[in-house]
Structure formats: structure tokens, C-alpha cells
Structure 1
Amino acid sequence: IVTVTSAIEEGVATSTDVIDCQMGSIVVFGRTIHDHKPFGLLTVKQIMEKSSDVGAIKLGLRLGDERFASYIDRMGFGKPTNIDLPGEERGLTKPASHWTKSSIGSIAMGQEIGVTPLQIIRMVSIIASGGILYEPYIVKRVEHPQNGILSETIPHGERVISADTAAKLQDMLEVVVTHGTATAGKLDGYTAAGKTGTAQKIDETGHYSKTKFVASFTGFAPASNPVVAIIVVIDEPVGQHMGGEVAAPLFKKVAEPILRYMSVPPDVPTYAPQYTMKEALPVKSRSFVKRATYSPSREGETASEASGGGRFRTLWAKQPVSARVIDRVYGSESSDFGDVTIPDFHGKSLRQVTEECLKAGLRLQSTGSGAAIEQIPPPGTSVRAGARVQVRFSTRMSQR
């Protein structure tokens, strides 16, 4: 990531430049370096997608030692992040004046350098945050019950790359997940972006081991509007050892529940089944029937019960159902089939709605921002605990 970012920021390459990766082999000042696969002509974007070492080395050579070393320093490597935790390591880096002639070939693909997981996730967060390097922290605020706020951490950041370069890298890292080495980290319902890593460990002889590895994946989600950044590091995996094989799947397992717990709206709507709501003819009891037609996108997908106000609507849900068409009668005597009454969320903030849903045992599906303007099921509906509620938010309040 650092190599490609530096090359684009310095203007020595663009994402569409074509690089000859020489079928997986390059000689750097007398030292032969092999790629993990033989690649021919690749664009810079494909170099990132396929994780080509030869491609990265050629970009490093375009930069030169001094410029490349300056970006390594600028992006936070070789020095502590100053996080409020004890015992932080600086990592291992050298100034360009101490590099050998072939060092740029090694460093461009991640060798001859030691970095911490915190430094890596901080670096990928630069891309996610539009080019700003932030100082990480654990404790946001310390409060005393009588004396109020004793201390508070104010987030501090500085721009280290342009917003344009960051946007280009976001696009490249998203392709790594959708079509590259990290497809096993693709999320259900959310876009994601990131980069795999497979590092050889130093063995007892002081050389790079051919059997001991550190597999990793670092990324952020949603790619369209990043909320969380995550790093997964696996020391000496047994069997499969590539970052895309063993670390990316764990990123998926961690990221999906975190995003849902935080009520982050999905940005890939096609992942969920759909309902079409229609109002049927009135019945004698003055109640009316709603028909929910379930159209699963794949076999075994599930959906939840839904209700509406007589308009056509599409809902996102994932509760078990036993049939593809669900009929439910709603009216003055329809409140005896559940044990949780849906609150009225109209006008409330996302935080307020989230807290009420947690207290009531409901699962929130939110879209938009601002104040709640629409909800399904409607207020007063009786549902089972664990049911999903869809609430739409807007900065422009509608009239009731």
C-alpha cells in the first residue's frame, strides 16, 4: 500500500499505467527476486489487486531511495503512534542513507522493515479517512460523578497525502476484496476495502524462512463510507499460509457483526431478500390483510414478518419463515401474536432509536441520517422479541 500510494502521490505512476512484471522475476542490483506468481503486463491497479512483488519493486525504483523513505516516515512507520497504552514498539526502519543498493527492492515488497499491527491499521486508516493521519487513542474521556469531565481526548490528525490520492487507493483496495487476493473477506451487505499480507519470518540462521509465515489482512468498511478499520494477524498458520486464505475470512467474521451492532446501513442492497407489500380488500372485522411476497435471492435465505400502511414497500430482513407468501391480519384485535410492542420512533435520532431497540430486544435496520421519519412495522405493532425493525432517517423532517 505504501509503495503504490507514494508512487501515485509523487506523480511517477497512475492507476492505469501498465507495468511489465516480467513473468515473476526481477534482478535488483545483482539480486534476483521472485514473485509469488508469474505475472506479465499489469496496470498499477492490478498490481495492487494481485499483490505483485515485481510490480511493487518497479514502482519503488521509480521513486528512488530518498523519496520512498520519506513516505515510510510520513505514514507513521519507525516511530511510536503515542497511543495511551504502555510498552509500544517503534518498529524497525532505516534511513535511506543506510540502505544497500538492493534495499529498495526488498522494502517495496515489505522486507527489510519491521512494523507493528497498530502502525499498519493506522496506515490503512489514512486511506479510509481521505489522507489524514490520526493519532490513535483508547480513552476518549474520563468523568467524575460529582466533578464532571476530568480529561478528554481531542482527535488530532494531519494530512499526509492528498484526498485525490486517497480516493484512488480506496478504489484499488476495494477491488482487492471484490476481485483480488482477498475475495474471502467480501462482506454480506457491505462493501469493504483492504490488502492481504504474507510475510516470511526470520529463521534461526538469520535468513527468511520458507516454512514460517505471518499472514495478515487489514481493511476498512464500508468502503463507500468507512466506519471501522480492522487488522487480522495470524502468526505461523499451519497448512494454508497466505493472508487471503487465512486472515481475510476472519476479517469478514469480525466486520459483519460489528457493522450490524453499530447499526451501519448496508451499502450493498442486493444481499438481502425483498418484500413487496400490498393492501388487500377490506374484511368484515374492519381490519385489513397485508400480503408479503418473499423473493429470496438465493436458496436458504430467510426473511422476517413485515407490515405497512397500504403502500408498496421494500424491506430488508433476515428472520426465519416457513413459506414464500405470508398473510397476516392487522386490526383492532391483532395485538395478541407478539410479546413486544413497537415504539414510535418518529422524530428521534439514530442513537435514541438504537437504544430503544436494544432495550426492547429488537434488531434495528437503519437507513439515512438525521431524525426518524418512517418505520416498519408501524408504532403499536406487536412482534416477537428479536424481530427486525426498519427505520428511515432524514435531515428534513416530514409532516405526520
Structure 2
Amino acid sequence: MTSLRVVEICAGAGGQALGLHKAGFEHALAVELDPTAAETLRLNTGGTVAVGDVANADVWTPADYTGIDLLAGGVPCPPFSIAGKQLGSSDERDLFAWAVEQVSVVKPRALMLENVRGLSSNRFSGYRQRVLDRLTQLGYVADWRLLHAADFGVAQLRPRFVLVAMRPEDFAYFRWPEPAAERVSVGEVLRDLMAANGWKHVDDWVKLANGIGPTLVGGSKKHGGADLGPTRAKRAWEALGVDGKGVADSAPDVDAPHPAERLPRLTVEMVARLQGWRAEDEWEFAGRKTSQYRQIGNAFPPPVAEAVGRAIRSALEHDGVAREVVDGTDVHDPVYRALAGAEGFVSMDRLVDALTEGSHASVERRLALLAQDFELEQQVTANGTKYRLGEFKGFTGQENHERHDYMNRFRSRVS
């Protein structure tokens, strides 16, 4: 299988890298902020890894990779997660819009970016529309899809919102990967690891762990150590026979208590297995236990990356039958569209019409959401208030953006 070349940004510990390698992509470069995660990449890929803020021109030069087959990445999730308060473009960690802007420089044949489910919510409909419209301006067709890791052989739900974009002639061959016929349980996936020290109650534990795990939470450098997430997640793990209050150094001993008496904890190796790493991958994680857990918990599951990577590869090789591509039909926010396409101020009545079955109240709700990510001007007239969409508040590479100051002051806490 001839390798295609990929540049991966915000590469983390290599979940996406491993999946893309299995799909037939070879890394020309991986860029990662965290030095320990970057060391993990070096240990396992042998490729070139640039360490530092991906948006810093001293770390790498996007123009050096013009024409690459794939630009991919898992840019920071907190700006779109509920835990991160869904600040979007107001969160200095947001790099999604910046990553999209690099398409104008790198001009990849394909783009793949993944993030948390929160990006698919109504809160970010205008943000998503801006992304789609910008990619259209650059000559690409794009689509979003919410994928669940459990549909691709991973024993946890872990929904990820994935964006794929290509030139129309390639996108005509793109098909999202189909879910696997059956899902696997936590007990099935971890039985051999739980039994590594001969635990005599392992079969009873496997019966108890007969389900899909909740999403693993890697957390940030600012909060906590190695545990399986907030209280709600810990309760879900408890229902599957797992003590989520910490991460163990080893599997249960041969005479460890029955799970009805004391639940076992997962090891780092078990967490990696639940994230989609397999024994045959022989993936080595750098750093100490808490760092390793954080790297794994923040990763894009390799099987999901592989499935999407294979779909992208097939499209770039024009496998199958081409379909008609109608650009610009995917409308996530018609109110944004109406404002962005207007030269001046737009009346409330026009915005209500753009929303079709909308009302003044529904338009006002959308305007309030848009105002979190865009400057929104108002003009009060005798016939009512009119609106004009102003500048996007997010970071796209501006030299005077407040993100630069934030990174200089808090880089050691950003993960």
C-alpha cells in the first residue's frame, strides 16, 4: 500500500497517528505542545516531531508542507466542552478556526479535524457555519459527522465530532465509515489484562463488566491526578465493576477480593486498551503514571482514526463510484448565513424569513449565541432593530490577538 503523507497538529500521544499509519498515511511532521506526549510520539513513530505551540512560527512553517495529502489534528477540546464552559472563540485555547485557516497556506488534498461532541450543539451553529463557508471560499467541500468510538471496536462511547474536507473532485468519492456490526464490552476487551496475575474471580468480573464504558476523561494539567473523571463517570464505571477513584499500578493479584467485595481499578495499560490501543501495537507511553493516563485519556481512539483515514484514502484514490457534490448546501445556521451575506444591516423580519419556521424569539436566541463568537452590531430604527455581523472574535493567526499573551503566561498549564 503506497503511503500518503500527513501533517498532524496537536498530535498528543499518537492515537490519531497510529490510526492514520494503519490507514496507509506516513507522517511528514507531527506537532505537539506537551514535551512528554511528544516524546511518546518519537518513541513509537520514529518520525519528525516539532515541540511547542502549533501556532508559533518558530515551531514549524506550514508553507513548507504545501500540497501535503492530509492535514489532520485534534485541536483543544475545552473551548467546546461543557466542562470548559463552552466559551468557543473566547477561550484562548481555541485553535479550530486557526487550523482551518492553515488550509489556505498548506493547501492539503484533505483536511481532518476532530473535537468533542459539544461542537455539534446549537451553541456553535454559527461557528460551524463560518468554518464551512471559509472552506468553500478556499475551494473545498466539507462535512461534519458525530462518530461514536463504540461503533468501531472501542469499549467506550466517546463521541467525537469530525470534520472532513476535500476538493470537489476528491470529495465525490468520500463516504463516511460504516459502524461495526457488533460492539465489544469492557469485560471482553480487558479480560486478559485483568487476569494477568491469575486473579481467580476474573470471570465473575467480566460478567459484571458486560457493557460499554463512559467516555474516558484525560483531564488537564490544572486539575487532579489519574482517575476516571467526574462523579457521574465514576458511578457509571462502578456499575461496570470498576473503581474509578484512581488508576492502579498492576492488575489484581491471584487472591484479590471478589468484585462484590472490592472493585478493581484499571491500570494505564487497561486504559490504553479501552481507548483502542491493542497489544500488538506495542505502543510505549513516556512519563509517569499520571502523565501517561492524561495522554491516553485525551487521545483520539486509533480505530476511529483508522476508519476515517481509510475513508479519506479511498476518496483520494478515487475508489468506488463518484457521487454528485453540491457545494454550499449544508446550512448549520441560516441566521449567520443571512448576516454574513449582507452588505449592510439586516432587519429582524429578513432574519425570521431566513430561519423559515422561526420567530422573533428564536432569531434573538440565535443572535445571542452568535454574539459570543462574533462582533454583532445593532442599529435601532423607527421600524425596529437591524443587525450586522462584525469580526470573528476567535484566533486565526492575528499578531495582536490576546491568545499570544495567554500562551506566554500560562503555557505550562495548557494541555
* TM-score using structure 2 length: 0.23
* TM-score using structure 1 length: 0.24
Structure with the largest fraction of strand: 1
Structure with the largest fraction of helix: 2
Bigger radius of gyration: 1
